[in-house]
Structure 1
């Protein structure tokens, strides 16, 4: 990853620098050439204007040798004095007639080269500026008679621009060298930065490699800040915490399940041995053994049923009709509870006619398990209240008792499988320790919520939130 990031960064930076270098080079080259063209054109135009302003009768004598100092083109007599003010290093200036006769020259070059270039022009009468292959600029400007009606000659100027060419070449080398250096530095910096950025990821990889069963307490060091890597490390640690808790729950589940199964099996084995030794001849021992075997086999059957229910909650839910009449199911649960515990007081309080988007059999199982749990942990005579009401797109169910209550330290674990607040009393009064686990499993399958409030000596209230028919969260 570090190499890929470095290469990608370098390529992107290289493209950006090449585009920027090309823009700088072309912009500056065009600008410098325009300045050079404007300078030589202005000089040629100035010479041509001077020739135009001189009377036609005096133009042939402008370049004869006399010693008087010129003050204007009209009385110029020495072309070396007059044209010298326009002379510059690397420039050739010719003043020619319309029939290509050279009237004056500044510079030591061969005038035939300028005349040959001038003769190649398609429109010699027009003002011309163009660049020659040998790093020179060629300018041709006509000058006119004093009345401005006819061309009487031309000013030809050739200027060496090799300095501009050399400057642009050096600039190009400098830009390319700087770009190469910048790319190399960026590659080195990108490698260092990417190595620093992926260090937490490498730590996560090493942590995953070290994690084995029994070593789920490993955690990744979380970098400061809230960037993507920090959030990834935090999420990874949360996942490890859930995995550790899940593994602990599974380990405890296997242990508790084995214990729950082993206990009735041990009892059954003991009574079988008792029958084998003395039960054949003792009706009392036989009757006692039969009752015990019936109780333990029933207990095993209930445990198996609850385990199968837990395992099949989600798959069974998909094939069920999800429309439960809450009023009807609450009435059935209340009647069943009173039938089993006639001394108990079970009240119902249903507001309206709520319909839950839940399979009727599973809603019934939720209420039955909660009511049985309330009756089990309430001293006779028990007082239970079942309330239900529609709350917008949800149905709220409440099961309240006035029983013993749940200690605060036990509240986080009451939905764990085989967990009992009072283990000795739970076994004595029956039950598998899976009732609340089944309730939570069903509620979460429907994306609902279950909450519990309890106070020792006062009672416990379970609140179940389920989707109503027509809500967006109901299962399909």
Structure 2
């Protein structure tokens, strides 16, 4: 299987090579095109200079003489040209330069250039640039050298582009490779692995960050699952062992099947029933299957009923329960579910508030929300436990809280009910000073 960085590197190489190759070909072609014009201009300049020189010498000597011929010979030697000079009657006067045998050029209108003095024709000249002469070789050598330089430049650029493509491809793919290895580790149960976040702030760094957050979430869920399994086993084991001991005692005749013993057995059964019911509600909430009936109701009426029903429990513990309920705090919701929220929260306050303490239940309203506050001056919650209070079976000091009773599901259920009403619930607490639970529900506008 070809690795993704190899494919990416190949794509980058192909794109880079295509760009470099096209650029080089266009550059060479453009150079050849303009160089041909340069050669034409150079030839034209040589012809004009030679004709001008011939005309000047002709004037000096008042005819064709050795001065003209010697100057032509010198030019032909310097420029390595073949020059044939004709008189006005088209007869050859002189041939100079590297004329090989058979190279004498007869007069031709197509190949010769007329030489005039004023309006009078004084002769004709034929100029040939040899294909292998030194002047042309220098120009050709320049063109060849330029082409080779461009080719070497192209090879160097291709090498640089290939190395750069490999580096870029590996750098881009490296976080993905790390995530792949991390995913395998997580699948094998190792939730401690994390992927290094790239320094560049881009989509890959965001992906890696999100991936790490996912692993953290899975780690927490796994820890919660293990704790949930342990807690359920513990919560079920205690009443089941109690029931087993009581029933075996009655069977063995150690315990009398008296109303008191039967009531104790019944209490354990009720405890199991409540625990199973609470677990069912939690499962429904987390599965999104939690259903509420919707009706118009006054939250203050719901709070008042729960306060009245629990007043005696607070009085027995010598705790002052203070209701501050604003009338017509209307919402659309489920009366029984909201009553369960009040019951769960007040039960927590009752358990964790010492005698001679107080608990205040308040309901307020505004245009947008109904604000519910339950405040006590109880033992409070440690700061490190606050982020976890809504988790299943989470009870902070677990041994102390088991002594106080409860399944550790009350706040989880309360949160699920509030969120099912499109509301939000928050807890503020300070150890040794008390706890404030705040609930906001969308109010019904009249």
Fold in common (TM above 0.5): yes
Change (3 A) 1:238 1:370: same
- Of 347, 352, 367, which residue of structure 1 is paired with 2:323? 347
Q: Note the aligned Cα RMSD (angstroms).
A: 4.3
Q: Which runs of 5+ in 2 are unaligned?
A: none
Give 1:59's aligned residue. none
Q: 1:134-213, aligned counterparts within 5 Å?
A: 146-147=118-119, 156-159=126-129, 160=131, 161=136, 163-188=138-163, 190-191=165-166, 194-195=169-170, 201-211=176-186
Give 1:32's aligned residue. 35
Q: Which moves more between the two structures, 155-164 or 285-294? A: 155-164
* Separation (CA, whole Å) in 2 of partners of 1:114 and 1:400: 124
Instruction: Give deviations 1:137-161, integer Å, cap 9, x for gaps.
Output: xx8766667349xx88765544344
Q: Which moves more between the two structures, 26-35 or 196-205? A: 196-205
* Separation (CA, whole Å) in 2 of partners of 1:207 and 1:299: 44
SS in 2 for 1:30: helix
Contact 2:329 2:364 in 1 (8 A): no
Q: 1:311-322, aligned counterparts within 5 Å?
A: 311-313=283-285, 316=288
- Of 267, 280, 292, which residue of structure 2 is paired with 1:308? 280
Contact 1:334 1:346 in 2 (8 A): no
Contact 1:406 1:455 in 2 (8 A): yes
Contact 2:300 2:328 in 1 (8 A): no
Change (3 A) 1:331 1:142: farther
Q: How many residues align?
A: 426
Give 1:251's aligned residue. 226
Q: Which runs of 5+ in 1 are unaligned?
A: 55-68, 120-138, 471-476
Give 2:70's aligned residue. 81
- Of 217, 229, 242, which residue of structure 1 is paired with 2:217? 242
* Separation (CA, whole Å) in 1 of partners of 2:370 and 2:119: 107
Change (3 A) 1:102 1:235: farther
Instruction: Give deviations 1:203-246, integer Å, cap 9, x for gaps.
Output: 54444434466642334455666566665555444333322222
* Separation (CA, whole Å) in 2 of partners of 1:264 and 1:454: 32
Instruction: Give deviations 1:436-466, integer Å, cap 9, x for gaps.
Output: 1223345567886543211344321123456
- Of 274, 298, 302, which residue of structure 2 is paired with 1:328? 298
Contact 2:186 2:215 in 1 (8 A): no
SS in 1 for 2:381: coil
Instruction: Give deviations 1:351-383, integer Å, cap 9, x for gaps.
Output: 986757x77765554444333323333346742
SS in 2 for 1:341: helix
Change (3 A) 1:276 1:184: same
- Corresponding position: 1:217 with 2:192: yes
Residue 30 of structure 1 deviates from its aligned partner by 3.0
Give 2:25's aligned residue. 22
Give 1:378's aligned residue. 353
